[in-house]
Amino acid sequence: MFTDIVGFTELTELHGDEVALKLVDAHEVAVRSILGEGSRIVKELGDGMLLWFDSALAAMSSSLRLQGRLTDLEVDTFPLWVRVGAHFGTPRQRGDDLIGRDVNLASRIAAVAAPGEVVVSEAFVDQVGVESRAAGTREPASFCSLGSVFVKGIATPVPLYRAEPHIS
Amino acid sequence: MTYRAYVAPIEIRVCGRSSTVTISASAATTEVMLNGVAVRPTSPSVYELIGTSGKLHVECPEGCAVSVSTASGSITTRGRLGSVRVMTVSGTVRLELASDVEARSASGRMKIGDCDGCCRVVTGSGRIELDSSADVQISTVSGRVDVGQLRSRGAIRTVTGAVSVDADIDAQLEVHTVSGKVAVELPASATGTMALRSVTGRVSGELAAGDGAHIEVSSISGAIEIRTG
């Protein structure tokens, strides 16, 4: 799963490095607050993070919780708008890092999301369904098709979905 | 008693990496045509059309649901369509009439005509022009946003992009921006409530207190102007 602070470059350009630092710090605090057992920050990418979860269901719930926490959050009056993209796959491990096609794809998926959104791949949607059925629980989100998107380096367009929390 | 057979709405999915995609919907058309040739559905009521370059011109009946994806190719729809989903990296998007719209681009410009229901648009830097919609959800980093007529409710977020909205008398509008200038215009007779906040930008608002519209705008440095007239 990738997270990315929206408009970070523009914000830094307009309001300086101090604001940028505060936003990155607040982003990290928010991300750490939603991580549980079986998940970790793989690496920090300046204005974003690569996260790993051992279950798609946990990743789904955590990403929705993250966006919920960020909805009205302000950092010194600046909004912290984050987009999230998630994919289910089998990345290769290199030390603490993860690499491979699935990681690249997750990164591209995050770029499609709007602030406050969680956008996921079809493989992710399928896996959430499998894990929900196995656990005997309702899926934590509904998935709205966005159609397919051309992703750099991948020949065929990739079907994507917007995850939306159920309204309780 | 008469029974009508259920006919699933036609769904057309078009992928064209750098193709220019044009979709023309017409009440006079009864089948789906690609570049003048009738095409068969890939599954009942679903047509999947794929091209890599050149022009893809699709003709279809009115009300079809359409999903189009390109990398750099432009996307144009003409006539009345049902649900429209478009995704492009850098292609220009022009949509005429749709029941609802979900459109995304990184840098491609979006020009959308009339949308009956929800119009959700996401761009990175592409400008967004929308003539009219009941429900607007727009997000862009640096693209300028122009909404000609907001009929019911809207939520707009930009980082640096300027926002201009002409809203109906009872519109419920929320705009959040970092540095974009925000201008909202309501009819002269409009009444309602406003919540306007800019940290360093100039704020000016005129709206007689009462029921009706609700306008909420926040910005860090962008100027905010609410006008009636």
Which tens digits make up the pLDDT trace of A143-166?
A: 999 988 888 777 778 999 999 998
Residue B194, pLDDT score? 96
Mean pLDDT of chain A, nearest integer: 93
Subunit contact B104:A150, Cβ cutoff 8 A: no
Residue A152, pLDDT score? 77
Checking if the pLDDT of B18 tops 80, the result is: yes
Structure tokens at B116: 């009956």
Cβ proximity of A54 and A39 under 8 Å: yes
Subunit contact A111:B102, Cβ cutoff 8 A: no
Cβ proximity of B199 and B181 under 8 Å: no
- Comparing A168 with A22, the larger pLDDT belongs to A22
Residue B127's pLDDT band, with cuts at 50, 70 and 90, is very high
Describe the crossing of helices A17-34 and A8-15 by its angle, rounded to 10 degrees. 140
Q: How many CB atoms lie within 10 A of CB A74?
A: 11
Q: Minimum mean pLDDT among A63-77, A125-139, A145-159, B30-44: which range?
A: A145-159
Residue A73's pLDDT band, with cuts at 50, 70 and 90, is confident
- Neighbour-count burial of B29, counting CB atoms closer than 10 A to its CB (0-12 exposed, 13-18 middle, 19+ buried): middle
Subunit contact A148:B142, Cβ cutoff 8 A: no
Subunit contact A6:B159, Cβ cutoff 8 A: yes
Whole-number CA gyration radius for chain A = 16
Checking if the pLDDT of B8 tops 70, the result is: no
For chain A, give the percent of residues with pLDDT over 90: 82
Contacts of B160 in chain A (CB under 8 A): 7, 10, 14
Residue B16, pLDDT score? 86
Residue of A nearest to B17 (CA): A150
Average pLDDT estimate for B121-144: 95
Residue B2, pLDDT score? 53
Average pLDDT estimate for A67-80: 89
Residue A74's pLDDT band, with cuts at 50, 70 and 90, is confident
Most confident option among A118-132, B9-23, B34-48: A118-132
Structure tokens at B160: 């640096």
Contacts of B17 in chain A (CB under 8 A): 150
Residue A149, pLDDT score? 86
Residue type, B88: T
- Separation in Å, CA A89 to CA A1, A41, A56, A95, B96: 11, 17, 10, 18, 39
Residue of B nearest to A113 (CA): B122
Q: Does A148 touch chain B (CB under 8 A)?
A: yes
Checking if the pLDDT of B58 tops 90, the result is: yes
Mean pLDDT of chain B, nearest integer: 92
Q: Minimum mean pLDDT among A61-70, A144-153, B27-36, B84-93: which range?
A: A144-153
Subunit contact B178:A11, Cβ cutoff 8 A: yes
- Separation in Å, CA B19 to CA B14, B49, B90, B134: 10, 12, 12, 31
- Distance separating alpha carbons of residues B97 and B58, to the nearest angstrom: 16
Cβ proximity of B180 and B200 under 8 Å: no
Q: How far is CA B192 from the centre of its chain?
A: 26
Cβ proximity of A33 and A5 under 8 Å: no
pLDDT in tens, A12-45: 998 899 999 999 999 999 999 999 999 999 999 9
Residue B5, pLDDT score? 52
Average pLDDT estimate for A55-71: 95
Residue B214 phi/psi, 5-degree rounding, is: -135, 120
What pTM, to 2 d.p., does this model score? 0.91
Instruction: Note which residues in 66-125 of chain A have CB less than 8 A from chain B.
Output: 77-79, 81, 111-115, 117
Checking if the pLDDT of A77 tops 90, the result is: no
pLDDT in tens, B155-213: 999 999 999 999 999 999 999 999 999 999 999 999 999 999 999 999 999 899 999 99
Checking if the pLDDT of B31 tops 60, the result is: yes
DSSP β-ladder status, A78-79 and A74-75: antiparallel
Q: How far is CA B111 from the centre of its chain?
A: 8
Query: Which of A23, A149, A156 is best to mutate for the B interface (most B CBs within 10 A)?
Result: A149
Average pLDDT estimate for A61-88: 93
Cβ proximity of A80 and A70 under 8 Å: yes
Subunit contact B160:A7, Cβ cutoff 8 A: yes
Residue B143, pLDDT score? 92
Apex B159 CA angle, B177 and B192, nearest 5? 20
